[in-house]
Amino acid sequence: MDAMVTARMSQLKKDRGNIILSDLGTNASAAINCLFDYLIENEQLPFSKPKQLEPTEIERRIALVDGISLPAENRFAGMTDDQIKRERLGMS
């Protein structure tokens, strides 16, 4: 039985990433599976830990035109769904 992995990111990042993955002849599921295969085999990331980047000015303008909301800061990054629900309900 397959398990589902959930990730949080801006819609803009998802859309741009999916375009690049498609151009490379793959998709997000295949890319995530490759990442997990690498993690299991090597017990480390295949790249340095990514830092949280602020959207560029052009990304902000594109998002404004497209009606996409870009968070100023992602305070939910690294939280489980249950932790996020508790935080939003003020139960933390």
Looking at per-residue pLDDT, the higher value among 27 and 92 belongs to 27
Whole-model pTM over 0.75: no
The predicted-structure confidence for 29-75, as pLDDT tens digits, reads as follows 999 999 999 999 999 989 887 666 667 777 777 777 777 665 555 66
Name 10's Cβ contacts closer than 8 Å, sequence gap at least 6: 55, 63, 68, 70, 71
CA distances in angstroms from 81 to 8, 27, 49, listed in the order given: 10, 24, 22
Q: Name the phi and psi angles at 20, rounded to 5.
A: -65, -45
